[in-house]
């Protein structure tokens, strides 16, 4: 196994829409460098990157995969990512550790929804960007249109480095504007022949070359002076300028490819070698304590774990980047996130599912180890001594939440354990326990993500699950006051029970005056665990109910408020005035008065114009301007109140208030209304009265359920 020093290691991540050719490109880069003797194809289920059974089944990437190639005297670590947006949990960690992003565009689709979505994520990471226009052999390939769209979507930093002389089935020649030469590929692709630029292309090549030189010169004063002096820059000067432009994100060089025909990847790899920055040239990384960590081979050994894989035999495999220093097999490191020591028992680099042992890894390189006891994705490991912790990875919030249950109740525990394991591999699968409804929810990025979760549970953990919509955390309250009384009497042999409570209930509002016409003996103001207030008054005169039974009456009232009479949802914002009652010298006890209190409250509640309250969410829906109409109509169909619309670039932001009950699987609808471009955020706004016909439906539904139960 060759060893490389930090200056000769480049880390790239392949990004782009689903099906644009990232996995095929990775395969071609390994083949072109001779690291694999035969090129696999996604359709043949034999690529290095798509090695998982699930990927073979789907015919596309589901997981990110780390591979490496060796081109000339450089090592290029490649992280291939899945293009489907639901699998963003695989893409973001890769973005975090790569030094250069290679955005792959499909020449016959141009900039796609998936491209825009991944560009959003890329914009949070400030990494240098290269653009690879792939599939130029496709009959509908259109390089110029693709570049024009890229400029429209990503700005003028998009800089043409090469262009194809022809496209479609005949594609086999690329004009390179840095080297001002033409690469001619044979049918089978591979190493091209260099030829001078044909006469017919000279004018276009010169014009584009000039643009490229100016793009290179604009990043450096010395280069600018040279350019003004000579009217030209040599290749080395251009490389310096282009590198600076990439680091400043003012230049995204565009390359031409047919990954499937193995045309163009070699030239792109040379550019990565000569121009793309290595890890030690990147800005120091921010630490949790506000400090920074430069990537230096001389620094303390620090690893950042960006991926965890669970394999039946090997167990937990942790992939990491050496952020500083040097790592040797057998080293003992401190996990700064857990405060525990970990031993790097084995050290290897990976190529898809293959693990190749190495003795050491230097700063900037990517490798793996197994069986770390207590380490997860986004953890920092370092030589003991001082605390060094890199910032956690910002995974997106779930876009879809569903209740998850084991199809067979006996497997509930197994399901729970499996979900914990899956979360370690994919931190965007999150478990959310609703204390209120007692439901176990799972948060995911979309319908596809959920279906893949189900597949993993079935195939890897042998547990079947069912998803259902989460219950809405309704609340119950009253709109007017009511009186009721209840006598609880049980005197059928043995110790009897007797308690009679008369009470009045009223809607509670902040700052309302004390009850009049009653002499208050005691008052309790309770902040309810599910929100809102209960104010409980003891207005008993003449000792008709002994004070010692007041807590039991309150207990009965609170028990009924926990599971309100309308739909079993928590009641709130009510005041209860206990003002009359009866005791029995022998049979009165706590349970009697608890039941009497509970029943009297229930009866009064049903007569106090009870109101079901529903949670209203504040939404920010981000949609392409041209698709706003449909989204607006759909929102109005969900009982929304639109507060306003702001524009942000090519998007519109709709602000609305929408009942939570109308938002089940909303992200799915929104994505289908907007061809996958629409996203939204939501947060709790307030409780609001449920419309009467809906209340009626929910209450009768609950009554039916109660009858069945």
To ligand GTP, the closest distance from the beta carbon of 87 in angstroms equals 8
CA 625 to chain centre: 24
Nearest residue to ligand GTP, scored by beta-carbon proximity: 83
- Are 304 and 321 in contact by the 8 Å Cβ rule? The answer is yes
To ligand GTP, the closest distance from the beta carbon of 429 in angstroms equals 19
Closer by beta carbon to ligand GTP, 43 or else 73:
43
266's contact among Mg ion, ligand GTP, none, with CB below 5 to 8 A by partner kind, is none
To ligand GTP, the closest distance from the beta carbon of 402 in angstroms equals 24
Report the C-alpha gap between 615 and 471 in whole angstroms.
12
449's contact among Mg ion, ligand GTP, none, with CB below 5 to 8 A by partner kind, is none
Closer by beta carbon to Mg ion, 23 or else 106:
23
Closer by beta carbon to Mg ion, 22 or else 138:
22
The residue among 565, 596, 564 whose CA lies nearest residue 580 is 596
Closer by beta carbon to ligand GTP, 133 or else 419:
133
677's contact among Mg ion, ligand GTP, none, with CB below 5 to 8 A by partner kind, is none
Closer by beta carbon to ligand GTP, 88 or else 596:
88
Report the C-alpha gap between 387 and 395 in whole angstroms.
24
89's contact among ligand GTP, Mg ion, none, with CB below 5 to 8 A by partner kind, is none
CA 3 to chain centre: 36
Structure tokens, 450: 């959920």
To ligand GTP, the closest distance from the beta carbon of 260 in angstroms equals 3
497 sits near Mg ion (criterion: CB under 5 A):
no
426's contact among ligand GTP, Mg ion, none, with CB below 5 to 8 A by partner kind, is none
Site for Mg ion in 44-83 (CB under 5 A): 61
367's contact among ligand GTP, Mg ion, none, with CB below 5 to 8 A by partner kind, is none
Instruction: Give 443-499 as a DSSP string.
Output: EESSHHHHHHHHHHHHHHH---EEEEPPPP--EEEESS-EEEEEEEEE-SSSS-EEE
Closer by beta carbon to ligand GTP, 74 or else 138:
138
Q: Tell me the three state secondary structure of residue 642.
A: strand
Closer by beta carbon to ligand GTP, 131 or else 478:
131
To ligand GTP, the closest distance from the beta carbon of 80 in angstroms equals 7
Closer by beta carbon to ligand GTP, 33 or else 260:
260
Question: Buried (b) or exposed (e) across 574-605, using 16+ Cβ within 10 A?
Answer: bbbbbbbbbbeeebbbbebbbbbbbbbbbbbb
Closer by beta carbon to Mg ion, 22 or else 671:
22
219's contact among ligand GTP, Mg ion, none, with CB below 5 to 8 A by partner kind, is none
Closer by beta carbon to Mg ion, 22 or else 215:
22
23 sits near Mg ion (criterion: CB under 5 A):
yes
499's contact among Mg ion, ligand GTP, none, with CB below 5 to 8 A by partner kind, is none
Closer by beta carbon to ligand GTP, 280 or else 445:
445
- Are 498 and 584 in contact by the 8 Å Cβ rule? The answer is yes
To ligand GTP, the closest distance from the beta carbon of 81 in angstroms equals 7
Structure tokens, 583: 């005791």
To ligand GTP, the closest distance from the beta carbon of 409 in angstroms equals 36
Region label for 196, one of left (φ > 0), alpha (ψ between -120 and 50) or beta (otherwise): beta
Closer by beta carbon to Mg ion, 79 or else 441:
79
To ligand GTP, the closest distance from the beta carbon of 18 in angstroms equals 4
Report the C-alpha gap between 275 and 83 in whole angstroms.
26
Kind plus residue range of the DSSP H or E element containing 593: helix 590-607
Stretch that binds Mg ion, among 15-23, 183-191, 629-637, 688-696 (CB under 5 A): 15-23
Report the C-alpha gap between 82 and 78 in whole angstroms.
13
To ligand GTP, the closest distance from the beta carbon of 20 in angstroms equals 4
594's contact among ligand GTP, Mg ion, none, with CB below 5 to 8 A by partner kind, is none
Report the C-alpha gap between 13 and 320 in whole angstroms.
14
- Are 82 and 61 in contact by the 8 Å Cβ rule? The answer is yes
To ligand GTP, the closest distance from the beta carbon of 59 in angstroms equals 7
389's contact among ligand GTP, Mg ion, none, with CB below 5 to 8 A by partner kind, is none
Residues with Cβ within 8 Å of 463's Cβ and at least 6 positions away in sequence, in order, are 406, 411, 414, 415, 418, 457
3-state secondary structure 24-56: HHHHHHHHHCCCCCCCCCHHHCCCCCCCCHHHH
To ligand GTP, the closest distance from the beta carbon of 214 in angstroms equals 30
What's the burial of 372, exposed, middle or buried (CB within 10 Å: 0-12/13-18/19+)? buried
Instruction: Give 244-297 as a DSSP string.
Output: HHHHTTS-EEEEE-BTTTTBSHHHHHHHHHHTSPPGGGSPPEEBTTS-EE---T
Closer by beta carbon to ligand GTP, 80 or else 476:
80
Question: Buried (b) or exposed (e) across 254-264, using 16+ Cβ within 10 A?
Answer: bbbbbbbbbbb
Report the C-alpha gap between 640 and 636 in whole angstroms.
5
Kind plus residue range of the DSSP H or E element containing 366: strand 366-370
Closer by beta carbon to ligand GTP, 22 or else 382:
22
260's contact among Mg ion, ligand GTP, none, with CB below 5 to 8 A by partner kind, is ligand GTP
- Are 127 and 95 in contact by the 8 Å Cβ rule? The answer is yes
106 sits near Mg ion (criterion: CB under 5 A):
no
How many residues bind Mg ion (CB under 5 A)? The answer is: 3
488's contact among Mg ion, ligand GTP, none, with CB below 5 to 8 A by partner kind, is none
To Mg ion, the closest distance from the beta carbon of 473 in angstroms equals 40
To ligand GTP, the closest distance from the beta carbon of 133 in angstroms equals 10
What's the Rg (C-alpha) of the chain?
33
- Are 438 and 505 in contact by the 8 Å Cβ rule? The answer is no
Closer by beta carbon to ligand GTP, 216 or else 268:
268
137's contact among Mg ion, ligand GTP, none, with CB below 5 to 8 A by partner kind, is ligand GTP
94's contact among ligand GTP, Mg ion, none, with CB below 5 to 8 A by partner kind, is none
Residues with Cβ within 8 Å of 642's Cβ and at least 6 positions away in sequence, in order, are 632, 635, 636, 654, 655, 656
- Are 97 and 304 in contact by the 8 Å Cβ rule? The answer is yes
To Mg ion, the closest distance from the beta carbon of 189 in angstroms equals 19
To ligand GTP, the closest distance from the beta carbon of 136 in angstroms equals 7
Strand positions, DSSP E, 564-703: 574-582, 610-624, 641-648, 651-659, 679-689
334's contact among Mg ion, ligand GTP, none, with CB below 5 to 8 A by partner kind, is none
- Are 696 and 612 in contact by the 8 Å Cβ rule? The answer is no
To Mg ion, the closest distance from the beta carbon of 190 in angstroms equals 22
Stretch that binds Mg ion, among 22-30, 255-263, 359-367, 508-516 (CB under 5 A): 22-30
- Residues within the interface to ligand GTP (CB under 6 A): 16, 18-24, 41-43, 60-61, 82-84, 134-135, 137-138, 258-260
Closer by beta carbon to Mg ion, 23 or else 258:
23
Instruction: Give 161-204 as a DSSP string.
Output: SEEESS-GGG--EEEETTTTEEEE--TT-SSPEEEPPPHHHHHH
The residue among 443, 464, 442, 427 whose CA lies nearest residue 64 is 427
Q: Which residues of the chain form contacts with Mg ion (CB under 5 A)?
A: 22-23, 61
């Amino acid at each position: 196994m060759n060893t490389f020093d930090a200056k000769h290691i480049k880390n790239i991540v392949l990004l782009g829409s689903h099906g644009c050719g990232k996995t095929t490109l990775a395969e071609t880069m390994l083949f072109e460098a001779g690291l694999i003797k035969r090129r696999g194809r996604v359709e043949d289920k034999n690529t290095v990157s798509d090695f998982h059974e699930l990927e073979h089944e789907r015919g596309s990437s589901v997981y990110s995969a780390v591979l490496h190639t060796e081109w000339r005297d450089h090592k290029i670590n490649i992280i291939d990512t899945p293009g489907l947006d639901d699998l963003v949990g695989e893409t973001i960690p890769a973005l975090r550790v790569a030094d250069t992003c290679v955005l792959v565009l499909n020449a016959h689709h141009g900039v796609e929804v998936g491209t825009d979505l991944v560009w959003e994520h890329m914009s949070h990471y400030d990494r240098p960007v290269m653009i690879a226009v792939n599939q130029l052999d496709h009959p509908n390939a259109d390089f110029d249109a693709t570049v024009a769209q890229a400029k429209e979507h990503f700005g003028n930093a998009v800089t043409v480095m090469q262009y194809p002389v022809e496209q479609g089935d005949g594609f086999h020649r690329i004009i390179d504007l840095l080297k001002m030469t033409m690469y001619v590929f044979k049918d089978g692709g591979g190493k091209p022949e260099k030829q001078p630029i044909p006469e017919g292309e000279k004018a276009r090549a010169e014009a584009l070359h000039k643009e490229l030189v100016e793009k290179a010169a604009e990043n450096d004063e010395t280069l600018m002076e040279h350019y003004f002096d000579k009217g030209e820059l040599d290749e080395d000067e251009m490389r310096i300028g282009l590198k600076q432009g990439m680091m400043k994100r003012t230049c995204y060089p565009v390359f031409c490819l047919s990954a499937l025909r193995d045309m163009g990847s070699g030239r792109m790899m040379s550019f990565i070698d000569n121009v793309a920055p290595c890890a030690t040239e990147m800005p120091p990384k921010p630490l949790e304590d506000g400090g920074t960590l430069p990537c230096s081979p001389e620094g303390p050994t620090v690893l950042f774990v960006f991926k965890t894989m669970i394999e039946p035999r090997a167990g937990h495999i942790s992939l990491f980047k050496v952020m500083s220093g040097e790592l040797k097999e057998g080293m003992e490191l401190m996990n700064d996130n857990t405060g525990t020591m970990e031993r790097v028992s084995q050290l290897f680099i990976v190529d898809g599912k293959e693990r190749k042992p190495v003795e050491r890894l230097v700063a900037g390189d990517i490798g793996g180890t197994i069986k770390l006891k207590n380490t997860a994705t986004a953890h920092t490991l370092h030589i003991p001594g001082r605390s060094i912790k890199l910032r956690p990875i910002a995974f997106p919030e779930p876009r879809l939440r569903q209740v998850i249950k084991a199809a067979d109740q006996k497997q509930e525990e197994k399901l729970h354990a499996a979900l914990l394991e899956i979360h370690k591999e994919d931190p965007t699968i999150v478990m959310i326990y609703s204390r209120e409804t007692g439901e176990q929810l799972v948060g995911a990025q979309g319908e596809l993500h959920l279906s893949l979760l189900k597949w993993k549970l079935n195939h890897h953990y042998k547990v079947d699950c069912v998803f259902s919509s989460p219950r809405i955390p309704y609340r119950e309250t009253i709109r007017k006051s009511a009186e009721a009384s209840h006598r609880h009497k049980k005197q059928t042999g043995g110790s009897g029970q007797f308690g009679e409570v008369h009470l009045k209930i009223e809607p509670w509002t902040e700052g309302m005056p004390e009850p009049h016409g009653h002499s208050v003996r005691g008052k309790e103001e309770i902040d309810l665990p599910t929100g809102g207030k209960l104010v409980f008054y003891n207005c008993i005169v003449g000792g008709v109910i002994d004070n010692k039974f007041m807590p039991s009456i309150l207990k009965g009232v609170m028990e009924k408020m926990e599971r309100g009479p309308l739909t079993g949802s928590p009641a709130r914002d009510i005041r209860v005035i206990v003002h009359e009652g009866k005791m029995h010298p022998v049979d009165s006890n706590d349970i009697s008065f608890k039941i009497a209190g509970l029943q009297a409250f229930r009866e009064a509640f049903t007569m106090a114009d009870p109101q079901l309250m529903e949670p209203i969410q504040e939404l920010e829906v981000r949609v392409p301007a041209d698709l706003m109409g449909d989204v607006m109509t759909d929102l109005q169909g969900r009982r929304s109140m639109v507060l306003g619309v702001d524009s942000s670039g090519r998007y519109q932001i709709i602000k609305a208030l929408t009942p939570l009950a109308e938002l089940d699987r909303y992200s799915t609808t929104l994505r289908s209304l907007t061809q996958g471009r629409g996203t939204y955020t939501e947060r709790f706004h307030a409780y609001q009265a449920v419309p009467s016909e809906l209340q009626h439906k929910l209450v009768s539904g609950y009554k039916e359920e109660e009858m069945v139960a």
